[in-house]
Amino acid sequence: MENNEKEIINEEETTMEFNENSEIIKETVVEKIEENNENNEKEEIIKELVHEPKNDNKNKKTIIIFASIITLLLIVILVLFILVFNKPKDKDNNKKIENTTEKKENTDEEKTTEEETEEEEQSVVELPNLKNENKSYAESKLKELGLFVEFEYQDSETINKDFVIGYKDNNEGDEIDAGEYIVVVISSGTKYITVGNYVGKDANTIKTQLEAKELVVTLTAKKVTEADKVANGSIISQSITSGTKIEKGETIELVYAQLVETYPDFTNGEYTKDTILSFCSKNKLTCSFTEKQSEKESGTILSQNFEKGTEVKEGSTLQIDIAQ
C-alpha cells in the first residue's frame, strides 16, 4: 500500500512539473513567433518604404527557417516530455527492484540460517548407554547415529566375554559430532580365576567346572576308611587356598577321598558266620571257615588271618577260625 501511494504522489508531481515546463515552452515559442512576426512586419514596412520589389525566394527561405524553428522546438518538447515522465518511473522501478532484491536476500538469508541450524542439530548426537550390551548391537546402534566404531578388548571379571564394558575416551550422554570415530571397549572375559573352597565337594564335578574356566586340574586319590567319616570321592584338600586369584592355564591339584574296605575285628563278638559271608561276598573275597574246639560258645569267631585295619583286596581268601 505504501509503495502504491508513493507512486501516485510521484506521478502527480511529475504531471505538475511537466505542465509548468509546457507553459514555459509555450511562452517561449509564442515570444519567438511574435518576434519573427514583428521582424517580418518591419521588413515589409522597410521594403514598402524603399519600394523594394518582393522576392519569392526570400519568402521561401523565411518559411523554411520558421518551419525549422518550430520543428526544433517540438523536438525539444518531446525530449523534455520523455525525460520528465521516464525518470521517476525508472526511480520507482529501481526502488521496486531494490526492494525485491532485498526481500529475496532476506528470504535467502533466513532459509540459509534455518538450514544451517537444522544441519547443526542433525550433526550432533548423544552417546547411548551400551554397558552389558553385546558387541553387534552396540555397533549397529552407533552406526545408526552416523558414527564410526572401533573396538578394543579388555579383561573383565564382571562383564561377560564379547559384551560392552564402556567407551574408551567418552561417557554415555556425551554430545559429539556425527562422523566421528568412537572406541568401544569390549570384554575379553576374565584373565584370572578366583579359587573357591572345594573341600567336601565331589572331585569329578569340580574338575569339570574348573577345566571350563581354562584351568588345569589334577586329581590325587587318598585312601580312607569308614572310620575317617569322609565320603568316597569327596575333596579332602586343594593345592591353592580359597580366595587366591590365578591366571588361566595354571594347575590346581585336588586331593579326594578314596574309600577302601579294611578288615574289621571279627572276634569282637559282633560278627557271626553269616555276617562274615556277607562281607566276603560284598568285597569279592573267598571265605574259609575252620571249626575248632573251644570253651567259648559254639559259633564264636576265634581268629582271622587278616588283622583289623588291613586293606581288603579283591580275590583274597579270608580264613576264619570258629568255635565248634
Select from 70, 94, 122 the last residue of a domain. Answer: 122
What mean pLDDT is reported for the chain?
80
Tell whether 114 and 9 lie within a shared domain.
Answer: yes
Tell whether 148 and 207 lie within a shared domain.
Answer: no
pLDDT tens string 115-124 = 554 544 458 9
Tell whether 43 and 112 lie within a shared domain.
Answer: yes
| Residue 103 maps to a domain | yes
**In this predicted structure, what is the pLDDT of residue 21?**
54
| Residue 81 maps to a domain | yes
The total of structural domains in the chain comes to 4
> For the chain, what is the HEC assignment?
CHHHHHHHHHHHHHHHHHHHHHHHHHHHHHHHHHHHHHHHHHHHHHHHHHCCCCCHHHHHHHHHHHHHHHHHHHHHHHHHHHHHHHHHHHHHHHHHHHHHHHHHHHHHHHHHHHHHHHHHHHHEEECCCCCCCEHHHHHHHHHHCCCEEEEEEECCCCCCCCEEEEECCCCCCCEEECCCEEEEEEECCCCEEECCCCCCCEHHHHHHHHHHCCCEEEEEEEEECHHHCCCCCEEEEECCCCCCEEECCCEEEEEEEEECCECCCCCCCCCCHHHHHHHHHHCCCEEEEEEECCCCCCCCEEEECCCCCCECCCCCEEEEEEEC
Tell whether 58 and 18 lie within a shared domain.
Answer: yes
Tell whether 247 and 285 lie within a shared domain.
Answer: no
Select from 90, 107, 122 the last residue of a domain. Answer: 122
Q: How far apart are CA 55 and CA 311, in angstroms?
A: 180
Tell whether 86 and 101 lie within a shared domain.
Answer: yes
Q: How far apart are CA 164 and CA 136, in angstroms?
A: 10
pLDDT (average), residues 172-180: 91
**In this predicted structure, what is the pLDDT of residue 11?**
52
Sequence-distant (≥ 6) Cβ neighbours of residue 257 within 8 angstroms? 221, 222, 224, 228, 230, 231, 232, 233, 234, 235, 236
| Residue 267 maps to a domain | no
**In this predicted structure, what is the pLDDT of residue 164?**
96
* CATH code where residue 169 lies: 3.30.10.20
**Contact assessment for residue 201 and residue 217, using Cβ atoms and an 8 Å cutoff:** no
**In this predicted structure, what is the pLDDT of residue 40?**
55
pLDDT tens string 40-94 = 555 554 455 444 444 556 667 778 887 888 888 888 888 787 776 665 444 454 5
Tell whether 175 and 284 lie within a shared domain.
Answer: no
Tell whether 82 and 110 lie within a shared domain.
Answer: yes
pLDDT (average), residues 280-291: 94
| Residue 53 maps to a domain | yes
| Residue 179 maps to a domain | yes
| Residue 265 maps to a domain | no
| Residue 264 maps to a domain | no
pLDDT (average), residues 26-50: 54
Select from 214, 236, 259 the last residue of a domain. Answer: 259
Domain of 25, in residue numbers:
2-122
Rg of the chain over all Cα atoms, to the nearest angstrom: 65
Tell whether 57 and 17 lie within a shared domain.
Answer: yes
Tell whether 115 and 26 lie within a shared domain.
Answer: yes
**In this predicted structure, what is the pLDDT of residue 163?**
95
Tell whether 55 and 141 lie within a shared domain.
Answer: no
**Most confidently predicted of 14-23, 24-33, 66-75, 206-215:** 206-215
| Residue 164 maps to a domain | yes
Q: How far apart are CA 187 and CA 163, in angstroms?
A: 6
**In this predicted structure, what is the pLDDT of residue 317?**
95
**In this predicted structure, what is the pLDDT of residue 235?**
97
Tell whether 28 and 59 lie within a shared domain.
Answer: yes
**Contact assessment for residue 320 and residue 266, using Cβ atoms and an 8 Å cutoff:** yes
